[in-house]
Amino acid sequence: YILMYVIKDRHAVGNQIEIDESQDYILEGARENSTHTFLSFSRPFDTCDKDHDLPIDYDYIAVIWAFGEKDDDLENHFHNRGVYDAYLLDATLTPNLDELNSSEKSKSSRDLSLWTISMEQEIPAQDTAYICTMHKAPSHRTKQHIVGFRSVLPTELEVRHIHHFLLHRCVAPEGKDPVALFDQFVGQPGQECYVLTNPNPFPTQYCRQVAHEWAVGAYPIFFPDHVGIPLSESPNEYYLLQMHYDNPEVLSGLQLRFSLEVYYTSILRQHDLGLMYVGKATPGSPTIVIPPSELNHTVYGQCGSGCTNLMLPKSGIHVVAAKLHTHLAGRGMRLIHIRNNEELPWLSYDDNYNFNFQPIRLLREERTILPGDQLVISRCTYETTDRNGSVTVGGFSTRNEMCNGFIWFYNKLNGFAGVCSSEIRSETYKNFLQISNTTWSDARRENVVTAPRQNAGLLVSQAGNRIYWTIERRNQLQYYHRYLPQVSGCPRLLPDEQSELQLPARGRFSNRKRTLRRNALLDTSFKNEQTELVTMYPENIVPYSRPQLCTK
C-alpha cells in the first residue's frame, strides 16, 4: 500500500490544534516501523508569523510535543505529551559517553581516561547549604588535558536538591608542600563554606581558580579539539568541590549521592583552557536589590577595563564557551562586550532565561577580549511578581538572587585567579536604600544591617521592605543599578598572607578601615589597590541590537 505523509503548521488553543493561516513548515522526510514514526521537517529560523510561530534564535526554547491515540486524533493529549528544553542553535561536541564503560570503545574515545569524584552526603536541615570537600586528582608523569565533564545525579531526590557546584583548583604557595597543606582534608565529610573568615580549617585561600561549573539542568560538556584544561602539571594536585544544596522545605535526614566524571587525555591539545567568573560579587554589598512585584528590573555587574588591562595578556583571550547564571527570579541575561565605548555583538545572551536549564554553551565563533575591554556580564533582568510584595536581594539561597556568568577561554591570565566581579559602594546608593553599614551573618546567610539605628538588626531584605516603592523610586533604583560607579575587583591567583587587605571585608558595606582576613571562594579581595578599580557603564554608548531574522 502507499503511505501519504502530510505536515501542517498549527498552533494550540486549549486542547485543540488549530491550523495557521501561514504554512511555514516543509516535510523533508518520513518513515515508520512497528514501533516508531520518524519525521524530518524544516522551517525558516524566523517565519515572520508573529501570531503563532516563535523565532528560532539563541534564546531558550521549550519544544512541546504531543501525540494522539489514533492517526486522526488531533487533540493535545494530557498523557502523551512532554517538553524538551533546548538552545536549538547551539553546537555540541559530546560523544556517546556510555561507550567509555563498554568493552568495545570507539576510536574517538580510546585515548580518554576517566577520573570520577563520588560523594554521598547528608545535607543540613536548612534552606541553603554550601558544603566544601577536598579531592586529590590522579597523578601522571606527564601533563594531561581535561576535555569534558559529566555530572551524575542518580535519582529525582538529587535533581531536586543539588542546585550547582564549583570545582576549584588548589595551588600551594611557593615553599609549601601541597600534600601537607591539602591532603589532610581529603576523605573528610566536608564543611559549610559561604564567606569564610579566619580561623578556617580548610585552606580555601589557595583554591581560587575555578576549573569547572555545573548548575541545574546542564548536560555533559566536551570542549573543542584545540583546547583542554591542564591536569597533572605537578605531581600532587588537589581540587576543592563547593556544592550548593537547596532544601526549601528544611527536610532532615536527606542523604544525597553525586558523582562528577572528568574525562581527560594524554594527547595534549594546542591551548590550555581557562575559566573566568564574572558578574556581581556574591554576597558583596547589597547591590542586588529588586523592588517588590517587579516585571522587568535589570541589574548590571561589571568587569571593568582596569581589571582586563591587568588580567589579560597583550594578545587578549579567546572565548570558546559561556554560561549565564541567575536564580529563580531571573528572566533574561546578556554578556555584553564593550570596546572603545561601543557595544560589540554580545558574547552570549538569553532573553527567555529558564532557571531549570543552565548548560554550558559552546560559541559557534570564538570571540576575542582585549586588555582594556569592558565586560558588563550581567545585564540580568528579574521578575518578582510572585513574591508576596517582598524585596529580593542578592545572596546564596535560591530564593535570593545572583547575576553572574562564566567564560571558557585560552591564553593564560597574568597571574590572576580568573574572577572579575563588581559591587556598588557609593554614598548615594546607601542613602537611597537607607542602609549605611551591613555585615554578613553566617547564621542567617544574608547581610544584616548595622546602621542606621532604626534598621539595625534587620536583614537587608527586611530593610528594603520598609521602603515605599513608588514608581519614581523604582525608576531611580534602576538608573543607579545601571549608571552608578561600581568597584570592579580581580584577585590574584595566590594571596599574600602578610599584606592581603580588603576594602571592606567581603560581605560588608561600610567605610571602615581595611582589615586583614582570609578570603572566601570567589572573593574579590586583593594584594594592592591597583586590583580594585572603579568602573562605570557609559551613558553615551553605541548599543548593539539583536539581528532581525524576519526577511519578509
Dihedral over Cα of 210, 328, 381, 287: its sign: negative
Q: What does the alpha-carbon distance between residue 552 and residue 550 come to, in Å, rounded to a whole number?
A: 6
325 given a catalytic annotation: yes
* Three-class SS state of 158: helix
Residues 250 and 253: their CA atoms lie apart, in Å, by: 10
Query: Do 322 and 406 touch, CB atoms closer than 8 A?
Result: yes
**What residue has cell string 527536610?**
251
Do the beta carbons of residue 421 and residue 407 sit within 8 Å?
A: no
Scan for cell 521578575, then name that residue. 383
DSSP label at 416?
Answer: B
Catalytic residue among 87, 130, 194, 277: 130
CA 230/CA 469 separation, integer angstroms: 50
Using DSSP's 3-state secondary structure scheme, residue 14 falls into coil
Q: What are phi and psi of 482, to 5 degrees?
A: -90, -45
Other Cβ atoms closer than 10 A to 353: 21
| DSSP secondary structure code for residue 214 in this structure | E
Cβ-based neighbour number of residue 237 at 10 Å:
21
179 three-state secondary structure: helix
Cell of 363: 560559541
Decide the pairing of beta strands 361-369 and 255-265: unpaired
The Cα–Cα gap between 389 and 391 comes to 7
DSSP 84-151: EEE-TT-B-----GGGGGSSS--GGGTTEEEEEEEEEEEPPSSSEEEEEEEEEPPP-SS-EEEEEEEE
Cα dihedral sign, 42-47-49-52: positive
Q: Pick the catalytic residue: 164, 168, 325, 481?
A: 325
Please classify residue 552 by burial: count the beta carbons closer than 10 Å to its beta carbon, then call 0-12 exposed, 13-18 middle and 19+ buried. Answer: exposed
Whether the bond between 199 and the residue before it is cis, its omega within 30 degrees of 0, is yes
Cα 334 to Cα 259: distance, rounded to the nearest angstrom: 31
Q: Which residues contact 9 (CB under 8 A, 6 or more apart)?
A: 19, 20, 22, 23, 24, 25, 43, 49, 52, 53
From residue 18, give the alpha-carbon distance in Å to each of 12, 23, 47, 71, 236. 6, 12, 17, 16, 63
CA separation for the pair 14, 33 (Å, rounded): 31
Active site residues: 130, 325
